[in-house]
Amino acid sequence: MDYSTRMPRARRLLLLSILSASVLVSAQSVPPPGQLDPTRDIAHPVLFSSFHKPLPEQYIWTRDPARQDRRQRQAPRCFRGHFHLDAVPAQATLYVAGPRMVDVWLNGQPSGHFAANEFSRLKEHVFYTPIADGLLHAGDNVIAIQAQDGYQLVAKILPSGPMRLVPAMLISDSGWKATTQAADGWHSADFDDSSWPAVDARGSIEGNIDFFQWNNDAGMYDWPGYEGASPFLAHVYLPAAKVQDTYAGSGSFRNLAALTSASSIQDPAKEFSVRLVPDPSGQLTPGITLDFGREVAGRVQIVSASDAPALVSIAYGESWDELADEPYLGVNNLYLPPHGAGVGPKSAFRYARIRFLSGPPTLRFQSIRLEDIYYPVRYLGSFESSDPLLNRIWETGVYTSHLCMQDDIWDAPKRDRGRWMGDTDVSGRVIDDVFADRFLVHDTLTRLIGPLPVTQPVNGIPGYSSFWFTELAHHVSHTGSLRYAAKMHSRILGLLHFMDEDFNARNQFINHTQKWLYVDWAIGLNGDTPQSRETTVLEYIRAFRAGAWLLRQLGDTANADHYAQRADQLAALARASDWSDGAYGPRWQTNAMAVISGVAQPDQYTSIWQNVLSQVGQTTFRPNVITPYYGSYVLDAMAGMHRRAQALAWIREYWGGMIAEGATSFWEAYDPAWPKVDPHVDLQADDTAGYRISLAHGWSSGPAFWLMEQVLGIRPTAPGFSETTIRPDLIDLDWARGAEPAPHGLLRVDLRRGDTPGSLQAVIDLPPDVRATVLYPVAAGAVSVLVNGKIQHGVPSENGTRIAIVLDRAGRYTIHPR
């Protein structure tokens, strides 16, 4: 049976009218500062590898391309498998998943016809049914399956009732046969399939990290024994922060407080229970809505304490309105065996609605809680200041990036749950600055570029090839991962060469593969337009500079010189052709990339600011929308033009605006001028608007690294912080402190405003193997400061407003003006 459903809109609105009115986020439900990430202080994470062995059943398909167009996917495919039974079990259950339509025969007899709800967003569909008496026999047995509208199939038979995990009698594996050209009678027991080709066996359904990407396995939640998580991920069980809403219908609830208890209930008298009263109309079905207090990534786990089976439905919402109106994964039913447990789909959400559909007169539950699935990291980097709002913005940005660290670094844990290089260029910088992760960053970058030869842009987007280089360069400068970069040497050259083919002999951009030119979700920047081409070229220039830096660190001087020269050539052409009317076009995105790529020159900054980027922070409606993603590059450009005060004000207004509207992680899209009655439904991105838009998107976390780079001022310029620039700038803050992880310890910076206007007091802790150049603010004409009470002279910098002093050994340095 397939319990995947998507409630029609009229029915959803009816349910909404039955339930209590929408409740906006209350102050009590927002986690206090320092407690946003519920996994932050877990010292000993429980890894999936410690308790779960991947299931042996395999995805199989016919031997043709794995992904077909819609017409090919709907073509029927026929599969046959043989298995032997010493004895027929008292009970047996058949499970099939993958395609949207499946017919099954056992020993030539029809055993099930399954069809998924055509509106369901679930890509995999679990169908299961008890096997009727007489269909199996001792000795040799044959299963025949016809599948349509899919791209992979998995099957198994368990000698038990539904949703009881026991050793399988049959699994799909490499021994099966499959064809698209079956003869009449192919599903009969005595049909000779010896001439059929072997299946394309793709390995264990939990044995490939790619099976967990892109929401592909969202519908596998009720496959017995399926965890669907990489072995390096961890999990922890957490109670709801509160019961947001209840509707008892014709029944009643008991011990609702158990749902917010930190542990499973052992005393039956204190268990949460539901009294069910039969209601043929289905309108009075009891339901509860749980608020977990923040955006989370994982799934709801339900543990039954009842003596009979039960059926419940689960729906998620990142916002209350999404849950009430249109849950992204729909409403999905879950069968609970007696005293058994079940989980809903993996996703990201804050709210979960559970409806109690059927079961014994009193449904008893040991627990209903969140199974939080996360990548275990330590918070090594830090930022804290005199502004509580900025502290929350930093924490929210870091938590957003952590939520996206799952089976590789994803754009978002709700949608698309996949690797996107543009997103990783932003969230990767946060990960480098705070977690100093290597494994997940390396795996993500390796899979994104793919094997040699390079024949496609990264993610199929030319500009995203550029961001592969900028994140790798950032990562190497922070972690010193030269060994990994050396392994990527040939692919670095391959991708640079492939990108260079996008220019003709006159250095004009030709997009030789005719791929999607994407810059941002904005008119004129999403598709092959003059503005997209101009900005993509600027991204290429930035990438060629990053690529040249990487090659130079690897000792490949000749290729480093070549691509540095290519960057200079393209920059000169862009400077000559794109500069017009005092800016590089009218768009924030293009001008920001002109600045951070080095195309825009310092003598152009004032004009760029006056004509374009001074509009940043104006709260009037902007039809040419900018996402928080490209907002990160705008922040970088503002800092590069010495407009840090304006950038900090925009961080408070823009990212702080999301927090003011209830965000506990940063959203895929935002504009302060958009309506606020139901903020989620009015978000615009991904060529659409509404609840599909993600409320936890790694590409929106830019202020987290910006505050560390521009307020604390920490920026490594050579691998592993071996050479580092520290340019402290309190801007309008009274104090700020924080740290970044270097390979041999934390580099700490503690800043406080001095006693005289414009003066600064700093304490800097350098770990071993770090040589720092500190650009310290001084009064006009000053050329020295006090370092640990001794006079130290420096070199004037930034028109005499700062001096450069060198700290060349590990230790603590206290710096004051003279």
Q: Is 342 helix (H, G, I), strand (E, B) or coil?
A: strand
Q: Is 351 helix (H, G, I), strand (E, B) or coil?
A: strand
- Average pLDDT over all residues of the chain: 93
* pLDDT band at 660; cut points 50, 70, 90: very high
CB 474 within 8 A of CB 549: no
Residues of the chain above pLDDT 90, percent: 88
CB 732 within 8 A of CB 711: no
- Check residue 68 and give its pLDDT: 55
Residue-wise over 407-423: b if at least 16 C-beta within 10 A, else e? Answer: bbbbbbbbbbbbbbbbb
* pLDDT band at 262; cut points 50, 70, 90: confident
- Check residue 118 and give its pLDDT: 83
Query: Which tokens hold the place of 586?
Result: 């009218």
- Check residue 27 and give its pLDDT: 31
φ/ψ of residue 246, rounded to 5: -135, 150
Query: Which residues, in sequence order, are CB contacts of 20 under 8 Å at separation 6+?
Result: 245, 247
Q: What is the mean pLDDT of residues 365-371?
A: 96
Q: Is 196 exposed, middle or buried (0-12, 13-18, 19+ CB in 10 A)?
A: buried
pLDDT at 3 over 60: no
Angle at 278 between CA 273 and CA 279, to 5 degrees: 115
Return the number of other C-beta atoms located less than 10 Å from residue 301's C-beta.
Answer: 16
Of 4-8, 77-81, 354-358, 414-418, least confident by mean pLDDT is 4-8
Q: What is the mean pLDDT of residues 212-236?
A: 97
214: left (phi over 0), alpha (psi -120 to 50) or beta: left
pLDDT in tens, 111-146: 999 999 888 889 888 999 999 999 999 999 999 999
- Check residue 441 and give its pLDDT: 98
Q: How far apart are CA 580 and CA 590, in angstroms?
A: 13
- Check residue 758 and give its pLDDT: 79
Q: What is the mean pLDDT of residues 349-356?
A: 98
pLDDT at 15 over 60: no
pLDDT at 811 over 80: yes
pLDDT in tens, 555-576: 999 999 999 999 999 999 999 9
* In 9-158, beta strands by DSSP E: 46-47, 58-61, 77-85, 93-97, 101-106, 109-115, 126-130, 139-148, 154-158
**Closest by Cα among 665, 660, 654 to 401:** 665
- Check residue 159 and give its pLDDT: 97
